Structure 1
């Protein structure tokens, strides 16, 4: 399921985080599905447990997984985006298209989401 590339300049924790996030968002991993323990996945990937722990922490902060004592780590149910949110985002995208690149726009939204920029 998860593969790490030594040739990829992306840090290993980010490779793990991105692959799990993509699997959750695509439906490959479904709600309530149990993920391997930190130690198990770290052993499978031959990385330090802290690498997987950091990826899991970020995924939990992003609302994609939940970790509970005695329950392990599971995929959370994702919420559908409401029509109102889609309409607001579409309006915003149309208003800035041509003035800013997609990467810059996504970085700005991510910063706002994380509360770093107002």
Structure 2
């Protein structure tokens, strides 16, 4: 599992959560995949264990992860990858948006505007 953190931008806990969430939704972390322990990931990333623990708790509350004593933290069986066609379309949307200089907030507004029943 590859996670990279930056000093600028969102809080470290949010960066960790966002990246793990992304790995799950893209299918790079499949259901039942065991994640590193809190201490191991904290050591690997050079952050406090509490930061990783908070990210894991948030993802568990969102249904992405399941933690059990003795078996560690795993990707939830209920967490599913985004369908390939949706992921491909999203990738194209991001590329077109970057070419045109649109930011994520603008893209989200467009998606909400074109989404049926909004």
Seen in structure 2, the aligned counterparts of structure 1 residues 46 and 73 have a Cα distance that, compared at 3 Å, is same
Seen in structure 2, the aligned counterparts of structure 1 residues 22 and 13 have a Cα distance that, compared at 3 Å, is same
Deviation string 1:40-90 (CA, Å, 9 cap, x unpaired) is: 00000000001000000000000000000001000012366xxxxxxxxxx
Shift of 1:95: 3.9
Higher RCO (C-alpha 8 Å, min separation 6): 2
The question of whether the paired residues in 1 share the 8 Å contact of 2:24 and 2:79 is answered with: no
1:48-63 equivalent positions in 2, closer than 5 A:
48-63=48-63
Seen in structure 2, the aligned counterparts of structure 1 residues 95 and 33 have a Cα distance that, compared at 3 Å, is closer
Counterpart of 2:40?
40
Q: Structure 2: how far apart are the matches of 1:32 and 1:19?
A: 17
Provide the alpha-carbon RMSD of the alignment.
2.0
Seen in structure 2, the aligned counterparts of structure 1 residues 27 and 94 have a Cα distance that, compared at 3 Å, is same
Which 4+ runs in 1 deviate beyond 6 A? none
Query: Gaps spanning 5+ residues in structure 1: where?
Result: 81-92, 97-118
The question of whether the paired residues in 1 share the 8 Å contact of 2:41 and 2:52 is answered with: yes
Counterpart of 2:5?
4
Query: Gaps spanning 5+ residues in structure 2: where?
Result: 81-114
Counterpart of 1:27?
27
1:1-118 equivalent positions in 2, closer than 5 A:
1-6=2-7, 8-78=8-78, 93-96=115-118
Q: Using structure 1 for the length normalisation, give the TM-score.
A: 0.67
